[in-house]
Structure 1
Amino acid sequence: MQTEINNALKVVKEGGIILYPTDTVWGIGCDATNPEAVKKIYGLKQREDSKALICLVADDRMLKNHVSQIPKAAQDIIEVSEKPTTIIYDKAKNLASNLIAEDGSIAIRIPDDDFCYWLTRRLNGALVSTSANISGQPTPKSFKEISPDILNGVDYVVNLHREKICDKPSSIIKISNNGVFKIIRE
């Protein structure tokens, strides 16, 4: 795994995009602070750049570096959630501007996956994590289902967990700083 982390980290630091396994589905990722790399992902996915992307961070410390406030409800959900949960936070910071939603929010997950944990730790920052499909197409449940357009469009494909079958992407919950929350995806 260390070799794959080193290879992926090198590509991400150079502004490239990677295809990698997460705790949910296979993801396309890049340095979340690099607007040119984020732009490449939107282009590869053929996705409107007005639709925000999810980021991964290693832990609470990293989360605090990318959102102005972590609501108590978000902390509680992170602690008790038994399945992967992405939370949309108000007032993103220290991220590429084309990654942040029009309302200033950002979707972030702390993954339960060793590769993602160590990659984000070594990057010392957020990693974009969007499903490995063309926008509007089904999310691939396994590496074998990833389209050639995606495979050929990334700068590096991580060689781990290719046999893994994924049931579904993470739940998404929007939690505003004023305590209001809304379930976006179960």
Structure 2
Amino acid sequence: MRADVSAAVDAVARGEAVVYPTETVYGLGADALDAEAIERVFELKRRSHDKPLSLGVADVDTALQYTYPTPTEEAFMREFLPGPVTVVVERSEQVPDVLTSGKRRVGVRVPDHEIARELLSETGPLTATSANVSGSPSVTQLADLDERIREGVGAVVDGGEAPGTESTVVDPGSGVVHRRGASADEIEAWLADHT
């Protein structure tokens, strides 16, 4: 395991947040099953608590341990994950209210990025949200990371420059695309055929 990934695994275990690369933008991760760790992410981002965070996991099978997707939703997840997509499904009781702003559904993210998935396979579920202060541009290279976030995390994992296209956020159960991003045309075509 790379030294920076190992340091990030240790930081997450201590309840700290970490910055990690994905195939879209850099993410800000903390233990997504620990309410206190999640609170730190909201603080670092200066994010309103009425805006939920997503659940990042290493693969779809892991996602199924924390969510209750319908057959259509699971089929969608297996079609598009890993990939630049956030899939909104019903969460299990293990997922804290603070992550989802009290909502029954959670956005699930399985990054199509080797380093991110290595990290997630070691840590378990992490928050999946962009590593920027709310309202600021997403971070595609570590040089652009806000100093407050850099100083507030336990580790930073360098994956080089990220492409910069946000993930598409989709609720396949209702056939609704909440945010168009990467692969949006393919997603909308799938939804038209399956919902």
TM-score normalised over the length of structure 1: 0.87
3-state SS, counterpart of residue 55 of structure 1 = strand
Letter of the structure 2 residue corresponding to residue 36 of structure 1: E
Contact 1:74 1:87 in 2 (8 A): no
Aligned equivalent of 2:139: 140
Residues 150/80 of structure 1: CA separation in 2 closer, same or farther (3 Å cut): closer
Q: RMSD value over aligned CA atoms?
A: 2.0
Deviations 1:87-132 (A, max 9, x none): 0112343122210233311111111111121211122x21112111
Question: Is 1:22 matched up with 2:19?
Answer: no
3-state SS, counterpart of residue 65 of structure 2 = helix
Moved more, 98-107 or 27-36: 98-107
1:23-62 aligned at under 5 Å gives the runs: 23-62=23-62
**Aligned-partner Cα distance in 2 for 1:117–1:88:** 19
Shift of 1:139: 1.4
1:56-95 aligned at under 5 Å gives the runs: 56-76=56-76, 78-80=78-80, 84-95=84-95
Residues 70/15 of structure 1: CA separation in 2 closer, same or farther (3 Å cut): farther
Deviations 1:131-183 (A, max 9, x none): 1111111212322222212211212112x22x3142311111023xxx31210
Moved more, 67-76 or 97-106: 67-76
Moved more, 89-98 or 103-112: 89-98
Contact 2:8 2:154 in 1 (8 A): no
Counterpart pick for 2:179 among 166, 179, 185: 185
Moved more, 76-85 or 97-106: 76-85
Percent of residue pairs bearing the same amino acid type: 27
Letter of the structure 1 residue corresponding to residue 125 of structure 2: A
3-state SS, counterpart of residue 129 of structure 1 = strand
Residues 155/166 of structure 1: CA separation in 2 closer, same or farther (3 Å cut): same
Shift of 1:72: 1.6
Residues 164/100 of structure 1: CA separation in 2 closer, same or farther (3 Å cut): same
| Structure 1 runs of 4+ with >3 Å offset | 80-83
Contact 1:52 1:99 in 2 (8 A): yes
What are structure 1's unaligned runs of at least 5 residues? Answer: none
Letter of the structure 2 residue corresponding to residue 140 of structure 1: V
Aligned equivalent of 2:11: 11
The number of residue pairs the alignment matches comes to 180
Aligned equivalent of 1:119: 119
TM-score normalised over the length of structure 2: 0.83
**Aligned-partner Cα distance in 2 for 1:82–1:8:** 21
What are structure 2's unaligned runs of at least 5 residues? Answer: 181-195
